[in-house]
Structure formats: C-alpha cells, structure tokens
Structure 1
C-alpha cells in the first residue's frame, strides 16, 4: 500500500514551500567531473556551511526542505535583480509574498554556482543563527550530496564511484517540481510505503500529520500513546495555531536496509510529514539527485528509538516560555498558554527567543522528573511535580 505526502506546506520549522507558478530549478554548476568536500558545523541538529558570495565568507544553513534563500541585507548588498514575486507558506500554513532574486554567483569550495533563484526572507530564527541565507535543494538538484556527520563533511559530486555507495542501502528518491525537494520511500511494518520529504532543516527524526495517521489506521502501523491539544511547532512566520494532536509510536520503520524501532512522533494538523536531520545521528546519508536514489549507510542496521515522554511540551510566545501541547495525563495540571516561570530552581520568567531556539532541548537535559512553576491566566502561581513516562 502506498501513501503519498505531497508538498503543500513547508516541512519544518526552517523550511518553506513556494507557489509553483515559478520554478526555482534554474542555474547551477557549469562544469562536470567534480568532487568537493565542504566542512560543516552541526549545531543542535542543524547543518551550517560557509560559502563565498561576492568575495566574502558567509554563513548559510543547509536545508533540503527549502529552495535557496538569502537575507534582504545580502540581496541589497549584491544589488541582486528581482526575477519574481512569489507566495510562500511556512510550516504552519501561514502565507506571505516573498521577492525572488537572481543570485549571480555562490561558491562552495572550488565549485561555482551561477544564476540561482533565491527567495528573500527575514525570519526571526535566521537572525538568531546570524545566517546570510539557505542552501536549498534547487541549487543542488543536479548533484550527488553526501552528509558524513561523523567527519562533519558535506560532499558534492557528480561521480558516484568516488562514494562507494551500496545499492542495498538505498531507496528511491524523486524531486518535487518547482524547488526539487527530495521525496524518499519509507516502509512501515514491512507493508506500507510512505513517500516522505527528506528535510535537513528539521532537527527531528520524524514529522507526522493527523491526515497520514488516519490513512494508516487500517494497517495497524502505529499505536496511539496519548491525545493532546495545543501548539509547539514554530515556523518562519511564528507559532502554529492550537489544535488537537496525537502522540504516536511506530513499531517498525525502514529506510533501505536500516530499521528504526519504536519511533515516536507528535502529529500536526497542518504540515507535511518528513524525515529530518536526526537521521544523520545514525549514519552517512547520501542524496543522489542524478540517479534518483537515497542512501543510508547506517552504523547499526537496527536502532531502537524508544524514549520516555513528558506529559506536556513547552512553546515560546514573545519573551515567555509557556505550556504548548498538553497530553491526557497532564490535563488536570496545566492548560495550553499558561506561563512556565521556573523549572526546578532555574528562572524562566523571561526568556530570550534565540537562546531557547538554540538551547531549548537542554533545559531538562537527562532529567526523568522536574518541578515546574506555573502561572495561570489569573496570575495564580503553583508548583507541580512532573515525571517522564
């Protein structure tokens, strides 16, 4: 059985999708027979690389769920000509008009890319990372891209023989129209094929939607662990709207010959399901856009992703840390939107968005339990003891 997830919305916090009346699949490398190793930084599951633009070293994020983008400041510095105005949707379905410019030249190592269409965005998260832009799939659509996370090296080539690729470790890869987002085949419980985006801009392992979950119901492909309500996903245009969510566990998920057991994900009402950059933790990943194959050369063929879960998930609104999604076991304790003013003895009465974006997952660290200080809508303050289960 096959379930196809099409690119209706952006696929992650950092990623965006554009209306397809305009194609970003223009320009590229003029040479052939190339092989280049590009060093990168992996910060909290996000890949940062340093291309050269207009003779200066710049900082970009590597995001296969997005077309190439540059900041408005860089576009102004380059006097980049406008070639289109396009409708953009972020990961939560929010829309805005974005100007597309021609990026005349961008260099990655010794590789020169010319005439690349690039959107111009001013997302808050981009400012936090102090990046000048996004290296997107449209720029890399005619190459083979390998992410060797153990060496912190991104390889760009058109010569597969230099990578010692094993066909047994691969699945099909096709590119979406308009911006060449990579779509890969994932198998659930050895019987259901899902066609999911591979989104290196999302630092999760799996992003799932309620619609796909419902389609999988008759195949017994997952288990519902809990039902919840709220919002916790932040896109380039802000926090998603409150909605019903499900915490689910997928017993068996395979990409090629690599198996992932007990994968846990929270569903979204609006978004696209995708595999994210957490996959880099389990092996070397290769996107062969030229031959339409996606490889996972895993460190281990079987990986158990079992993990205890907190009964609610936080979110950020302005300068406040709040209760985002509340699952069933916490409904008598907290409500979505209530402020978290402390965790154990650490004060969170006022938070910095950029700090939380880069360090949010380390707030609780390896703790199995914590004391949360909560302020409700009337200003009343209470402390609650919460455990992972």
Structure 2
C-alpha cells in the first residue's frame, strides 16, 4: 500500500484550545500484516490501514459513492510494485481521531480503483503521512498503539537514536549496511516485511561487501494500490550488519523489489518503538535490545491461493529445478488439500502450513508429482 505522489496537497488541522500540548492514542490491531486503526470520517467511525509509506490518505471507491464525494482532481502515483497510474482525487470535509482531540479538515484523498486492492481487508482506505505533517507520531509495537501529539516540544529521546528525514513530510531516512554503505529507506508500515530492497540499491551495493548474495528466484509481488505485480525475477541477500538509528541488526535477509525506495517495514516494530517528528523531520528508534541477530531461514518455495487452489508463487535457488511457478499443491502431509479462500489466506494464512515446523507438500508439476519439505 505504499506509493509516491508527485504533487503535494495540504489539509487543515484543528483541535481544541492551544494552551497545552494535546495527545490522542489510537489502538491498532495487526490483520494480515497491516496496522488497522479507527478514525472518524465525517463523524462516523471507520477502519483504515495506518500506512506511513503512503503520502496521501486514500479511500475506496465504494466509500466515496456512499458519502457522495465528488472527484475534484487527479493524482499521479507510482506504487510499491512500480505500477504507474493516475487516480481520482476527492475532498473529505473532516477526519477526526476517535476521541475528537484532533480534527483534520478539507483533506484531499486519493480514490482506489475497483475492484479495490484492499478488498480482503476490513477497511475503508489508508491513513497516510499527509495527516501528520504538523505532529509527532509514536508507534509502540508492544502496546499496539499509535500516539499522536502536538509538536510544541521536541522529543527527549537521545539524538544518538535519531535519523533525519531526507525529504520533508515523509519518513525517508538513511541506514547503514556494513561499514560505509548507506541505503536510503522509506519507513513504511504498509510493508509487511522487515526490509524490502529496491533493485537499484541491490545493483549499487553488490560490488561492495554490504551483503552476501544468497540466490535468485521468481516471485509474485505484494499487493499495493495498483494490485499485485506479475511474476518477476528477484534476488535474495543477507546483510551481515545493518545499523538503524544506532541499533545493530545482524543477518537480515531481504529480497529485491521495485518500490520507489528500499522499504523498512512494519516488522521493525517487533524490535523497538518508533517516533516520527514530522515538523522537525526526525525519525527515532528506541530498541528493546541494543543488538538483534535474525538467524532466520527463508523458504525456497512460496505459496498463494489462486482460484481456490494452493499454487507455487515463488521459487528460489536450486528449487527452480524441482517446481515451477503455478504448480499446484495437491497434498499436505499426505492428505488431499481442499479449496481455499484467497482473502482468508491473506488474513490468516493456511492452517495446515502452520501446524508443524516442517510440512511435506505433494506438488503436481508438468513432469509428475514431486514431494518437497516446506
């Protein structure tokens, strides 16, 4: 759900009496890797994906029809999968926090196409960074809260845990890979991973010692405002060391994609609290531990639901000689598979694949049945 907007629009923020610092707390829940918050839209509570990587608040076409919102303009967008398109723009009279502490008036919002790429999620759109350009936002992954405050006072967090935005209004920062290699990243809570590496950054870094190449594969991209991407060739790498706001992360695995920036995703919140001081263009990361070692293994085969079937949607390394994109899973641990719902798989996964650490998959290939360990 991340995208780059090439024109800038503004909304007006109001709140009661300015005599003191004001604060609102938004609980969030994680659904299918997305942060879901409640906001009032023209006085009615609605659910939205909280997406710091979106520079524009966005509504579904269905909601725009329900509210009778008229198209006033259009917006040129490149989404996280590299899709470029122009989308209708509408104006919202008012968006409020549920406690009415903050009221954002005359908000310009992008309208999603139909069918909505967010159709699987119980939401009416995205809340983007545009609402918070005058505010400080604190995201606490342990408490599952987003705290919004007015910005009269700067944060008391140590500057050693701070990185400056490289662009005003968006949490785009520089992180360090190894020693002496910098990567410009967008902190994007709409990205379900820890790190998604922009292909051009991969090309720029591969001649150095910033990462260790692991394998090449074929994969289908994640869902963004323009929908899912077609099959593409991607690379998988391991970063022996990444430094984010002074915190060290070791053995971080990332795969290449085609977003406008390398993405630092929502899984960062598993390791610490993030503060975004939008007016001062500052990103703070308060880690739960000063150093984190991932030491994780990645699947060499990825799966997704298509037309009710469970099919191969990513193939890495030597597994490319075993199965192909689109091959169908016919048995899991020796039991014939049933039919699956695409949205249910996005939101809650495949139950049979979560039951054991290792799962035997029988896959129908063009050369016959193959059994692999997933």
TM above 0.5, one fold? yes
CA displacement 1:119-164 (0-9 Å, x = unmatched): 1114645222121121101111221110012112211112475864
How many Å separate the matches in 2 of 1:98 and 1:27? 22
Q: Paired residue for 2:272?
A: 283
How is 1:149-188 mapped onto 2 (pairs within 5 angstroms)? 149-159=141-151, 161=153, 164-175=156-167, 180-188=169-177
1:65 correspondence with 2:57? no
1:55 correspondence with 2:55? no
Q: Paired residue for 1:384?
A: 371
Describe the shift of the 1:232–1:98 C-alpha distance in structure 2 as closer, same or farther (beyond 3 A).
closer
* Conserved? CA contact 2:304–2:312, under 8 Å: yes
How many Å separate the matches in 2 of 1:367 and 1:155? 37
CA displacement 1:78-134 (0-9 Å, x = unmatched): 322422122333322233432110111010132101111101114645222121121
Q: Paired residue for 2:136?
A: 144
Cα displacement (A) at 1:333: 1.4
1:17 correspondence with 2:9? no
* SS of aligned partner of 1:331: helix
CA displacement 1:15-41 (0-9 Å, x = unmatched): 2333x2x32333334665322222222
How many Å separate the matches in 2 of 1:201 and 1:361? 22
How many Å separate the matches in 2 of 1:362 and 1:160? 48
* Conserved? CA contact 1:65–1:199, under 8 Å: yes
Q: Paired residue for 2:214?
A: 225
* Conserved? CA contact 2:60–2:111, under 8 Å: yes
Q: Paired residue for 1:7?
A: none
Q: Paired residue for 1:87?
A: 76
* SS of aligned partner of 1:295: strand
Cα displacement (A) at 1:269: 4.9
Tell me how large the CA RMSD over aligned residues is.
Answer: 2.4
* Conserved? CA contact 1:70–1:132, under 8 Å: yes
How many Å separate the matches in 2 of 1:286 and 1:165? 9
How many Å separate the matches in 2 of 1:48 and 1:89? 23
Describe the shift of the 1:163–1:339 C-alpha distance in structure 2 as closer, same or farther (beyond 3 A).
same
* Conserved? CA contact 1:253–1:259, under 8 Å: yes
Q: Paired residue for 2:330?
A: 341
Describe the shift of the 1:269–1:72 C-alpha distance in structure 2 as closer, same or farther (beyond 3 A).
closer
How is 1:65-144 mapped onto 2 (pairs within 5 angstroms)? 65-66=53-54, 67-108=56-97, 109=99, 110-121=101-112, 122=114, 124-144=116-136
How is 1:239-258 mapped onto 2 (pairs within 5 angstroms)? 239-258=228-247
How many Å separate the matches in 2 of 1:201 and 1:266? 16
Unaligned 5+ residue runs, structure 1?
Answer: 1-13
How many pairs does the alignment contain? 367
* Conserved? CA contact 2:58–2:111, under 8 Å: yes
CA displacement 1:171-203 (0-9 Å, x = unmatched): 112336xxx432012111131121111111111
* Conserved? CA contact 2:41–2:96, under 8 Å: yes
Cα displacement (A) at 1:290: 1.1
Match of 1:45 among 30, 33, 42: 33
Describe the shift of the 1:325–1:270 C-alpha distance in structure 2 as closer, same or farther (beyond 3 A).
farther
* SS of aligned partner of 2:120: helix
* Conserved? CA contact 1:123–1:236, under 8 Å: no
Describe the shift of the 1:348–1:100 C-alpha distance in structure 2 as closer, same or farther (beyond 3 A).
farther
* SS of aligned partner of 1:139: helix
* SS of aligned partner of 1:354: helix
